[in-house]
Chains A and B, each alone.
Chain A
Amino acid sequence: MDTSKLIFILTVCTLMPCCMEWDYDLDTDFDTTPEPGSGLFIANEGNYQYGNASLTFYDTETGTVENDVFIRANGQKLGDVAQSMTMHDGTLWITVNNSHVIFAVDPVTFKEKGRITGLTSPRHIYFINDEKAYVTQLWDGRIFIVNPKKYEITGYIDTGMDSGTASTEQIIGFGDMAIVNCWSYQDKILKINTNTDEIEDELRIGIQPAAMVADCNGRLWVLTDGGYEGNPAGHENPALTVVNPETFEIERKFTFYGDGRPSAIEANTAKDSIYFINGGVYRMSVNDKVLPSEAFIESRGTEYCAIGICPFNPEIYVADAIDWQQKGLIYRYSLSGELLDSFRAGINPSSFCWY
């Protein structure tokens, strides 16, 4: 064989490009600087196992939207399944469930201030004070006690639930009491003494208490999703149950009928109205005797998945996941239900946090 031909062929082959394109064009400059009183953070849950959770900032005054602020500010991804957010003492705490981490973030610079790791499957963080917070878990029957200043786990509250079906979810405080709803495969809420970190009482409220909110009368509204057919914990119609946190007794119960799976309960700023999603967005007074029969905001093929009532302006923010695999749409409505505008957030916008 002609050796020169062979060398030519091999040379051409070797020079073929082989580099993977790895540019994301991350824009690290922000068009807005968050100021207290006009900031809205949106945790975009992303898709399970995709690691594509993200954080969006929206300025309620200027309407400026900044997406992917966490990765743009920190050069690292937010993680897998951004579950919830809490603002405490000027720090935004983001619980990233399947990354097993809680990030503390500066709400002005979006930069990470610290992180709590070593968590089993964190869902929500609830602050008792600056040096003590509770972290609820899925599957793990323990509520973790953490020191937010030192970003460390300091103890546990054992709920006694079996692993695998254990679930503690949201926490709402009433004085020295913290009330926890036990959601997945459970049917109760717990009352915890935040001084002793002991469970003082529990109340069976219905199958799968998914979300809670407090009203202006000092009552707790608990939404049970009723599980699903075949659920070993049972299956029943979803319900809204009003609980007196002092006596820890059920005062009223509103049962849902039909095919809906209600979720995402929220109260307005005055806490005299309750909003929830059940296909569309529904609104009822805390004094109503029956569930509303018509949606306050109709579903238009939308997949509403989160709701937030703005504390700064009389506005309602509703997140539409669309098909759960594209940037969700945030609709901004007036309190009368008039659509004001909308903007894009990230994949699966799941929770709002005001700054």
Chain B
Amino acid sequence: MLVLTSFGRMKRTIAIIVTALIFGIPLVTEASGAAGPESPREVADTLQESTVKGFRPLRETGITETRFDSLALKENISISLADILSYNSSLFVKQYGRASMSTVSFRGTSASHTQVLWNGMKINSPMLGMTDFSMIPSFFMDGASLLHGTSSLQSVSGGLGGAVVLKSETPDIKGFEMQYIQGFGSFLTADEFLKIDYGGKRFKSSTRLLLSTSENEFKYVNMDKKEIRYDENMNIVESWHPVERYRSGAWRDFHAMQELGYTTDGGHVFSLSAWYIDSYRQLPQLTVDYGADTDFINEQRESTFRSVASWKKNWDTSKAEISAGYSTTGLDYDYARDKGDGNYVYMTKSRSRTETIYAKAAYERYFGRKWLLTCNAAMHQHFVNSYDESIMVQGNEAEKVGYKASATEISAFVSLKWKPVKRAGLSVSLRENIFRSSFSPVIPAFNADILLVPEWNLFLKGSVSRNYRFPTLNDLYFMPGGNPGLKPESGFSYDTGYSLSRDFNRNFNISAEGYWFDSYIDDWILWVPDGAKKDFYTPLNLMKVHAYGIEQKLKMEWLPADRWKLTFNGNFTWSPSVNCGEPRSEGDESVGKQLVYIPEYSSSFIAGLHYGKWSFFWKWCWYSRRYTMTSNDYTISGSVPPYFMNDITLNRSFDFKRAGLSVSAAVKNLFNEKYLSVLARPMPGINFEIFVGITPKSGKIFQKPRR
């Protein structure tokens, strides 16, 4: 797949692409042959840099991967990875509101079926199994890719839908660089971002700070409830849908990230990444809440620290990596209502502390030019202490409701990739997981691809695998309701498709990918009420799910005239995800129906128009109806209506002698859509943001970078 990384490097990139398209496959052929001009080390290095050269490295045999270029990730400082994924991918992003919890799911699966790695370490909550993508500022990531379906097994297990692989790193620069961006937006939103990079001969550093705050009090017409007016006899004489403020939706997020890198003469690369998050978020009332907005507390506070240290070394035909990490999250959630006298009744005072220790060793070796052996083993040790302070009988601290648990998660992986002929690649992988004391069956995966039309770089690809996802610690131990007897969810998946790319006359290029995917997931875990009183829920292995469909991606770039450029990046997904188990009882109408909150159709695109230092982007996404009832009823509470969303952004960069300056303005929800992502959770109408960024280029401290 072709990935174009920046406008500034367009001409060079195009030249590389054209060269690669015309000569790329023969180059591989030569490199694969015994008499090739490149040394094995060069081959290994070349393969690592493959994305701009237009041929498929052995490592990526049969892999379905979507990579996000830095332009997409660095669009503006206020957007999270959830926003990036909404407009740049075929994934379904479920948002509970502006800067509220956002989860991501692939190919008709659930959010907990999406595994998320940051610099190799899993960052899914060990309690919930999912990741809140609204807590990941895209500006902090230097690389992001999606591994769809079976391809996720190459990096991690448990991704029944897929995996999101995130990377932050030190930049490849010489000297100092600094960037400061400030943004202001509607609803009293303010963002500040500071980045200071240093690159020396051996030592590199990158420091990033981000502060985002908002009162977030947008107004909306509440169509779910009515205000009423009585006459003197207490008869209702008037009723209307009120214009309400979005109540209790403020946030303050602070992120700090430090990257350090050191390279020795011998080529040993040491790196350290540390990421701290301090977040305060209010959680808004439902649209059907008749309580006053001043009489309640509904807020979440999170402190997270993650760090990963690693050592890497490349040899002529092999490379090795050892990494270790630590992650801790303190998550508090309070829900209380004022008794009317200033004293609050706490209904929930949830306190959870999670810690994860991570270690991984990986080794990769080429045998000749046709074989690649990859093996790695990763260990995550989780500790969870979760309880509700509001539930203390007679104030007895020792009688808090909650649980303490730990779990060891080990995953070992070995893969052998083979290029039997010039145009074809095969890959066989095995993965074994241990969770607590349970061993998963050996998980096999088979991937293959073949180059059909070199001129179009047209590959046919396919993969098939099994996969397992172990229950989360909440699934097993949550008090009340945890079910230690849960079985892991198991899946069988295959996909097949094509990818192509071509450059026409150096001023138009196109790339496309399309896949058919098909998977069966058994023992799907659902939380259901435990008993008719419904005082608490318990997880059960309840469903068998058949998720299948089509993913289609299309990228185009056109240089119609000097200084003009048009870009397009579009995605379309059709993903039926159907309960195919047995009916629970004679009245069960859920069999054969789409799962709740998973759209059958979704689509998105970003179109860009660039002229000189001006850039204009139009972002568009569409989700079809999401059902909220398993029977797929078409009623006011049975589904969330489909919606289209449009955002536009206009950027202008200025190049002054001592600094670069960028100015950006964004309009979100351009057509002021009234829409929902989740029932009873309003979303904002049209809103605006402006950003100003400065990048000093010279001076005593900030020397002009020499890339």
Contacts and interface: CB of A to CB of B under 8 A. Distances in A.
Interface of A: 1-2, 5-6, 9-10, 13, 16-26, 45-47, 49-52, 54, 68, 71, 74-80, 96, 98-101, 112-115, 117-118, 120-121, 138-140, 142, 149-151, 162-166, 184-185, 210, 225, 228-233, 261, 263-264, 277, 300-306, 320-329, 342, 347-348, 350
Contacts of A325: 590, 596, 628-631
A142 B341 CA distance: 13
A185 B391 contact: yes
Rank and list the top 10 A-B pairs by shortest CB-CB distance, nearest first: A52-B637, A51-B680, A261-B531, A232-B399, A164-B390, A326-B631, A301-B585, A20-B643, A329-B587, A1-B561
Q: Which secondary structure dominates chain B's binding surface?
A: loop
Interface of B: 224-226, 228, 230, 234-236, 239, 241, 286-292, 337, 339-340, 344-347, 349, 390-396, 399-401, 403, 479-481, 528-536, 542, 560-561, 564, 566, 583-590, 596, 607, 609, 618, 620, 625, 628-631, 633-638, 641-644, 646, 670-671, 673-675, 679-680
Contacts, number: 253
Given A2-B560, A52-B679, A164-B392, A231 B674 contact: no
A231 B585 contact: no
Given A18-B671, A20-B674, A100 B226 contact: no
14 contacts: A1-B561, A2-B560, A18-B644, A18-B670, A77-B636, A113-B236, A165-B392, A232-B400, A263-B533, A303-B584, A320-B587, A327-B629, A327-B631, A328-B587
A140 B345 contact: yes
Contacts of B345: 120-121, 139-140, 163-164, 166
A74 B226 contact: yes
B136 to A, nearest CB: 24
A22 B618 CA distance: 24
B588 A21 contact: no
Given A20-B674, A80-B286, 5 more contacts: A51-B287, A80-B680, A139-B346, A302-B587, A347-B637
A322 B584 contact: yes
A342 B392 CA distance: 43
Contacts of A225: 531, 533, 535
Nearest to B542: A323
A45 B403 CA distance: 29
B289 A164 contact: no
Nearest to A150: B234
Contacts of A142: 339
Given A139-B347, A261-B532, A301-B585, A16 B230 contact: no
A164 B349 contact: yes
B575 to A, nearest CB: 20
B94 to A, nearest CB: 14
A151 B671 CA distance: 41
Given A303-B532, A326-B631, A342 B587 contact: yes
Contacts of B226: 74-76
B246 to A, nearest CB: 15
A114 B230 contact: yes
User: In the complex, which of the residues B392, B628, B636 has the most CB atoms of chain A within 10 Å of its own CB atom?
Assistant: B636
Contacts of B286: 49, 51, 80, 98-99
B291 A230 contact: no
Contact of A98 (B289, B535, B634): B289
A329 B590 CA distance: 13
B586 A300 contact: yes
Given A2-B560, A51-B224, A98-B289, A348 B534 contact: yes
B352 to A, nearest CB: 16
Nearest to B338: A120
Contacts of A96: 288
Contacts of A76: 224-226, 239, 241
B241 to A, nearest CB: 8
Nearest to A147: B234
Contact of B291 (A75, A117, A348): A117
B587 A20 contact: no
Contacts of B347: 121, 138-139, 164
Contact of A305 (B393, B396, B534, B670): B534
Contacts of B530: 228, 261
A20 B644 contact: yes
A322 B585 contact: yes
Contacts of A151: 230, 234
User: In the complex, which of the residues A5, A68, A326, A348 has the most CB atoms of chain B within 10 Å of its own CB atom?
Assistant: A326
B52 to A, nearest CB: 26
Contacts of A117: 290-292
A77 to B, nearest CB: 5
A22 B479 contact: no
Contacts of B533: 210, 225, 261, 263-264
A80 B288 contact: yes
B391 A20 contact: no
Contact of A17 (B400, B534, B641, B644): B644
B224 A300 contact: no
Contacts of B480: 228-231
Given A80-B289, A232-B393, A304-B532, A326 B636 contact: no
A228 B584 contact: no
Nearest to A81: B534
Contacts of B401: 230-232
B340 to A, nearest CB: 7
A162 B636 CA distance: 39
B288 A51 contact: yes
A114 B587 CA distance: 36
Contact of A263 (B239, B395, B531, B631): B531
Contacts of A232: 391-393, 396, 399-401
Contacts of A347: 629, 637
B392 A162 contact: yes
Nearest to A116: B290
B532 A1 contact: no
B673 A18 contact: yes
Contacts of B631: 325-327
Nearest to A346: B637
B225 A118 contact: no
A140 B339 contact: yes
Contacts of B224: 51, 76-77
Contacts of B641: 20-23
User: In the complex, which of the residues B288, B340, B630 has the most CB atoms of chain A within 10 Å of its own CB atom?
Assistant: B288
A302 B585 contact: yes
Contacts of B340: 118
A120 B391 contact: no
B637 A46 contact: yes
A149 B235 CA distance: 10
A2 to B, nearest CB: 7
A99 B629 contact: no
Contacts of A24: 635-636
A304 B618 CA distance: 51
Contact of B290 (A6, A20, A101, A184): A101
A115 B674 contact: no
User: In the complex, which of the residues A45, A77, A228 has the most CB atoms of chain B within 10 Å of its own CB atom?
Assistant: A77
A120 B337 contact: yes
Contacts of A342: 587
A323 B588 contact: yes
Contacts of B535: 184, 225
Contact of A326 (B241, B481, B607, B633): B633
Contact of A115 (B228, B287, B403, B481): B228
B534 A45 contact: yes
Contacts of B634: 25
Nearest to B290: A101
B634 to A, nearest CB: 8
A300 B587 CA distance: 10
Contacts of A9: 566
User: In the complex, which of the residues B339, B391, B529, B637 has the most CB atoms of chain A within 10 Å of its own CB atom?
Assistant: B637
A79 B290 contact: yes
A306 B531 CA distance: 11
Contacts of A17: 644
